Amino acid sequence: MEEHPAPKVYLTVPCYNEASILRDSMRTLLAKLDTLQTAGLASAESAVLCIDDGSADDTWAIIADAHRQAPERVLGIKLAANCGHQKALLAGLMKAKDEADCAISIDADLQDDIGVLDDFLREYRLGVDIVYGVRSDRSSDSLGKRLSAEGFYHFMAFMGAKVVFNHADYRLMSRRALQALSEYPEVNLFLRGIVPMIGLRQSIVSYVRKPTARKTHYTLKKMLMLAWDGVSSFSIRPIRMISLLGLVIMVVNFLLILWYLHIKWIGAAVPGWTTLVMLVLALSSFQLLGIGLIGEYIGKVYLEVKRRPRYIAEDVLGGKPPTP
């Protein structure tokens, strides 16, 4: 098979309040980049691209410092505000799309084993456009996190979204894949759901994830929000299920009405207090649920139709700013 030449790679790192670990992470990544270049897997123009997601600490100063020391090897984007992991990552990927052959996204705490970067790039050189890092072992997670993650992937699949099990945002994307990604204009971004829809040639590399050296930025609330974004951005199944439920309830109600009429006609009507209360309660709760759910989707439509920018780059170190 014909192999691609060594690509220009951007290691794309979203950073939010990472001052405590960023210097170490940067050093590790640059050293890794060196070995990749020596091994002929990455070209000499490859770089680490850090996106400061509106940090309140010294994150940007650290990135700027690293850029000063190695202007070709460390690039930076400073977002004007905290936009969240997914959008920060997207800003980096959109810069990579214009300047590099491929991008590999990785978290700043380097929990994801950078040892498999070689495998990512070997896959790329065989012509694969999207390589997913998949965790083969979740023993570094707490039981709660493991169960919620497991439940999340199954729920997503059940809801009809295409997801790669046990894959977070550790992945390689070719320029072609990034170009395709840029055609998805949604503001409610859930990259793990969008990327598998792109198609092209995809493959998987397994690795073991390390425990983090600091507190996670993903609180339970953020995780639930991400899960709900995932479901509601990719599936109208929840709404369809409510409509279906409404239909079933309607049929049951109709039969009940016939039954009550029948009882009345044979003159055996009893004061149906319990039935009445139960029906009212059940129906009103379903109605509220349905309205709430529809509201969620209308909210999504509202957020999308505003066409707000997903991120605003305040400053860029090296190269061009990311296209919106």
Sequence letter at residue 246: G
Question: What, of Mg ion, ligand UDP, none, does residue 82 touch, CB below 5 to 8 Å by kind?
Answer: ligand UDP
Q: Which two tokens stand for residue 163?
A: 């997801």
In the complex with ligand UDP, which residue's Cβ is closer, 101 or 109? 109
In the complex with Mg ion, which residue's Cβ is closer, 109 or 129? 109
Q: With CA atoms as reference, report the closest residue to 134 among 168, 101, 107.
A: 168
- Binding status of residue 107 toward Mg ion by CB under 5 A: yes
Instruction: Report, in Å, the least distance between residue 202 CB and Mg ion.
Output: 24
Question: What, of ligand UDP, Mg ion, none, does residue 177 touch, CB below 5 to 8 Å by kind?
Answer: none
- Binding status of residue 212 toward Mg ion by CB under 5 A: yes
Q: With CA atoms as reference, report the closest residue to 174 among 124, 110, 102, 269.
A: 102
Distance CA 324, CA 310 (A): 7
Contacts of residue 109, defined as CB under 8 A and 6 or more positions apart, other chains included, come to 18, 21, 25, 212, 213, 214
Distance CA 15, CA 24 (A): 13
Distance CA 198, CA 286 (A): 36
Distance CA 213, CA 69 (A): 26
Beta bridge partner(s), residue 313: 79
Nearest residue by C-beta to Mg ion? 109
Q: Which of 111, 140, 182, 233 binds Mg ion (CB under 5 A)?
A: 111
Question: What, of Mg ion, ligand UDP, none, does residue 16 touch, CB below 5 to 8 Å by kind?
Answer: ligand UDP
Question: What, of Mg ion, ligand UDP, none, does residue 119 touch, CB below 5 to 8 Å by kind?
Answer: none
- Binding status of residue 20 toward Mg ion by CB under 5 A: no
Helix H, strand E, coil C: the string for 99-146 is HCCEEEECCCCCCCCHHHHHHHHHHHHCCCCEEEEEEEECCCCCHHHH
Instruction: Report, in Å, the least distance between residue 193 CB and ligand UDP.
Output: 16
Instruction: Report, in Å, the least distance between residue 226 CB and ligand UDP.
Output: 9
In the complex with Mg ion, which residue's Cβ is closer, 42 or 168? 168
Name the residues that contact ligand UDP, by CB under 6 A. 14-16, 18, 53, 82, 84-85, 88, 107-109, 111, 212, 216-218
Q: With CA atoms as reference, report the closest residue to 12 among 80, 99, 82, 71.
A: 99
Instruction: Report, in Å, the least distance between residue 213 CB and ligand UDP.
Output: 10
Instruction: Report, in Å, the least distance between residue 55 CB and ligand UDP.
Output: 8
Instruction: Report, in Å, the least distance between residue 73 CB and Mg ion.
Output: 23
Contacting residues toward Mg ion, per CB under 5 A = 107, 109, 111, 212
